[in-house]
Amino acid sequence: MTQLRFAILCPLLSILATASCGSPTEGDGLGGSPAGGSPPIAGGAAGGAGGGISAGGTSPGGSAAGGAGGSGGSSGSVGSAGAAGTSAGGAAGSGGGGGANAAGSSTGGVAGANAGGTGGSGGTGSGEPVFHLFMLMGQSNMVGVAKAEASDKNTDERLKVWGGCNQKAGQWNTATPPLSDCPGGSGINLSTSVDPGIWFAKTLLKKLPPGDTIGLIGTAESGEKIETFITGGKYHQAIMNKIAAVKTAKNARFEGVIFHQGESNNNQGTWPALVKQLYSEVKAGFGVSYDVPFILGELPAGGCCSIHNALVHQAAMQLPMGSYVSQDGTKVMDEYHFDHASVILMGTRYGDKMLEALKW
């Protein structure tokens, strides 16, 4: 008789007061189901946050209360809704939060399968597009020397450049090469050249979250040592002025740097430390505490200065998110500079490496 009363009353109490029968144990978050007269199992943990930059979170519901939906990634993906609880009184998890460029899940969790379940709340997200800012730094192989061809041009309005050669200074323009100011420190006429930065940006476009924009800031100068870019150097203040001008753009986020330099500092042992200083000063200019990818490029094997590549590798290793792209398979048009096909190859490699680092 006692067992019969227990079997009748306990589920009713669970519905009315969300009380459990027996001694509930912790669930594993994978949606186990109670059997017969066994006690309900506690709900699983909330879902994890969205992975990396764009992946939405996931969250299977527990056996009782459903897990909360995972938060969306920081750009372009919604979190998933919480799964329903399966026990009496089990409330569904709330919907996941949206990423920076996506609204949250609007439905929230599904109602509990048994009596007492309630629907989860909808997720939240800013829904605002992001303006991703990238610095293009270095000397002539970042400025670009090979003559531009029709395929190098860009008309996609999602690619912007601050100033740029042959364009209006002090404003955002549709990005088309050359992207750094001309004519360049060495006096080379660069007004018709192509740089790796445009192919870097075209590569990023393939994975750019919907509604977002890419902003390129070209500061490369031909024939210049790295010392000219850091504190005390003749281009340092101009670089800082550009950073100050662009960082206030709506929804701007500083994302990273691509850097091709070293011919003028060939095999200089202090160069890696100067690269680290440049990285720190650029971050300080943007006023950010988080680390960003800083991607260096190897110097061409067929040119003057391939011995410097050991220092390129060393510099990349000492930075929090440092890496480098290989010059393998490239050709030079003179003692220093990549030919047109190699400019495209290096730019694409920069883009692929940045996508890998940002996890777009």
Q: What value does the mean pLDDT of the chain take?
A: 75
Would you say residue 18 has pLDDT above 50? no
Q: Are 220 and 193 in contact (CB under 8 A)?
A: no
Residue from 159, 168, 145 nearest 199 by CA: 159
Question: pLDDT grade, residue 183 (50/70/90)?
Answer: low
Same domain, 119 and 156: no
3 state SS for 102-117? CCCCCCCCCCCCCCCC
Question: pLDDT grade, residue 27 (50/70/90)?
Answer: very low
Same domain, 68 and 102: yes
The number of beta carbons lying within 10 Å of the beta carbon of residue 2 is 6
Please give the Cα distance from 261 to 15 (Å, whole number): 69
Neighbouring-strand partners of residue 252: 131
The number of beta carbons lying within 10 Å of the beta carbon of residue 267 is 13
Q: Are 82 and 43 in contact (CB under 8 A)?
A: no
Provide mean pLDDT across the span 86-97.
39
Same domain, 253 and 211: yes
Question: pLDDT grade, residue 130 (50/70/90)?
Answer: very high
Same domain, 236 and 171: yes
Number of domains the chain contains:
2
Higher pLDDT: 331 or 12? It is 331
Q: What one-character-per-residue DSSP string does 312-356 give?
A: HHHHHHTSTTEEEE--TT--BSSSS-B-HHHHHHHHHHHHHHHHH
- For 292-319, what is each residue's pLDDT tens digit? 999 999 999 988 999 999 999 999 999 9
Q: Which domain holds residue 50?
A: 1-128
- The order of strands in the sheet holding 252-260 is 172-174, 159-162, 213-218, 131-138, 252-260, 294-297, 322-325
Please give the Cα distance from 249 to 185 (Å, whole number): 28
Residue type, 12: L
CA distances from 206 to 201, 214, 294 (A): 9, 12, 20
Give the model's pLDDT for residue 190. 63
pTM exceeds 0.75 for this model = no
According to the per-residue pLDDT averaged within each range, which of 53-62, 110-119, 249-258 is highest?
249-258
H-helix or E-strand spanning residue 159: strand 159-162
Pick the last residue of a domain from 84, 113, 128.
128
Provide mean pLDDT across the span 179-208.
82
Same domain, 76 and 199: no
- For 216-225, what is each residue's pLDDT tens digit? 999 999 999 9
Pick the last residue of a domain from 69, 95, 128.
128
Give the model's pLDDT for residue 181. 78
Give the model's pLDDT for residue 189. 56
Same domain, 40 and 3: yes
Question: pLDDT grade, residue 121 (50/70/90)?
Answer: very low
